[in-house]
Amino acid sequence: MSGTADDVSDEPKQRPIFAFRKGKRPTFSSRKQTKQSSDESSEGSDSNDGNVAVRQTTSRKKNPMVQSTKRIKLGMSAAHDDSSSNDSNDNQSSSSITVSYKSTRTGKREGPTDMGATSVQEIDTQADRDAQAILSRSLQIQKDLKEKEDDKIYRGINNYQQFYEKKDTVIANADSSKNRTGPMRASANIRSTVRWDYQPDICKDYKETGFCGFGDSCKFLHDRSDYKHGWQLEREMELGTYGQKDEENYEISSDEDDMPFKCFICRNSFKDPVVTKCKHYFCEKCALSHYRKSKRCFVCGEPTGGIFNPAK
């Protein structure tokens, strides 16, 4: 037993060996040509003198993020070819995005024959459905039902039978062109554009100071002249002074024309001041007493003519 144990211990221990192997990638070989018999090759050579290259087309997936005008161009070219080849073919495919025009081959012009001279305005309610037409039909029904028994027929909310006639009212005279009910029927042959300008579009800064910060880009008118408003013109028309010159309102008064602080005769403050034609101010008592002595003005010596107006 001891000998066998020694023999085992003397033998060297064997270690496992690991080997790594790199695999080869599979190679795709091209399609091999099949061998043909001599008879088939001879028949093919007789039928086809040369080789033909065939290109295989692969279908591409539609991408909604990619746009192209290729189809539109193809459709336009196809439509052009069809129109040139056949003029009678007017039906186009729904897929083509094109616009075509064709003459009617008549000498008649488009639009109204009178060039729109007798055209009417059609923005309001139709003439057979507006308030005036409804009232006219109601009055006609009342005339037909006059002095007749009630036939128990409902003719609408506007056509109830009336047992008494209205006189001297708008409804009684509604057939005339002056009296109507409801909205007035506008003139159908008049088309006008009206702008009521109540605001004077004048630059206030330029009118008062002669300067505007906006300069030439200001949208208001740069004008320093004085204009009258509409109410001022109407007042002058009522007073009968329209068109008359009122230069006195625009004259700049001097210091001499103003009322002095004391009378020239008594050298005291004014008591009941009066003014002469030559614009000189006196007390009423002083002016009358001086007029008894002289008919001329106390200051300038011009004849007063006995006219002394109360000073304001």
Residue 281 pairs in a beta bridge with 275
φ, ψ of residue 208 to 5 degrees: the values are -85, -35
Model pLDDT, residue 256: 55
pLDDT recorded at residue 176: 54
Quick one: average pLDDT of 30-42?
A: 53
Write out pLDDT tens, residues 99-140: 788 888 887 778 888 887 788 777 888 888 888 888 888 888
Contact 298, 282 (CB under 8 A): yes
At 69-80, the pLDDT tens digits run 776 666 666 655
Using the predicted structure, report yes or no on whether residue 168 has a pLDDT greater than 80: no
DSSP β-ladder status, 309-310 and 281-283:
unpaired
pLDDT band at 35 (very low <50, low <70, confident <90, very high): low
User: Quick one: CA dihedral 122, 123, 125, 131, positive or negative?
Assistant: negative
Q: 218-243, pLDDT tens digit by residue?
A: 999 899 887 787 888 899 899 888 87
pLDDT of residue 114: 83
Quote the Cα angle for 202-207-213, to 5°: 85
User: How confident is the model at residue 5, as a pLDDT?
Assistant: 47
Give me the chain's average pLDDT, please: 75
Dihedral sign from CA coordinates of 232, 236, 241, 242: positive
Q: Does the structure show a pLDDT above 60 at 47?
A: no
**Chain region(s) in the chain for CATH 3.30.40.10:** 254-312
Given a cut of 70, is residue 260 above it in pLDDT? yes
For the segment 13-19, the average pLDDT, to the nearest whole number, is 67
Question: Is the model more confident about 165 or about 37?
Answer: 165
Res 68 pLDDT > 60: yes
The segment with the largest mean pLDDT, out of 43-47, 82-86, 280-284, is: 280-284
SS (H, E, C) 11-80: CCCCCCCCCCCCCCCCCCCCCCCCCCCHHHHHHHHHHCCCCCCCCCCCCCCCCCCCCCCHHHHHHHHHHH
Q: What is the mean pLDDT of residues 249-255?
A: 63
Mean pLDDT of 187-195: 75
DSSP 202: B
Question: Which phi and psi (to 5°) does residue 58 adopt?
Answer: -105, 135
Q: How much of the chain, in percent, has pLDDT values that exceed 90?
A: 3
**Is the predicted pLDDT of residue 85 greater than 60, yes or no?**
no
Q: Can you give the pLDDT at residue 218?
A: 92
Q: How far apart (Å, rounded) are the C-alpha atoms in residues 274 and 297?
A: 12
Question: Of the segments 48-62, 92-106, 185-199, 203-217, which one has the largest average pLDDT value?
Answer: 203-217
With a pLDDT cut of 70, the percent of the chain lying above it is 66
**pLDDT score at 175:** 52
CATH number for the region 254-312 comes to 3.30.40.10
Mean pLDDT of 140-158: 87
- What is the pLDDT, as a whole number, of residue 178? 47
302 neighbors 296 (Cβ within 8 angstroms) = yes
Average pLDDT over residues 38-51: 52
Supply the pTM of this predicted model. Answer: 0.28
* Encoded tokens for 208: 């008062």
Residue 282's DSSP bridge partners are 274
The pLDDT of 43-48, averaged and rounded, is 51
- The arithmetic mean of pLDDT across residues 53-74, rounded, is 73
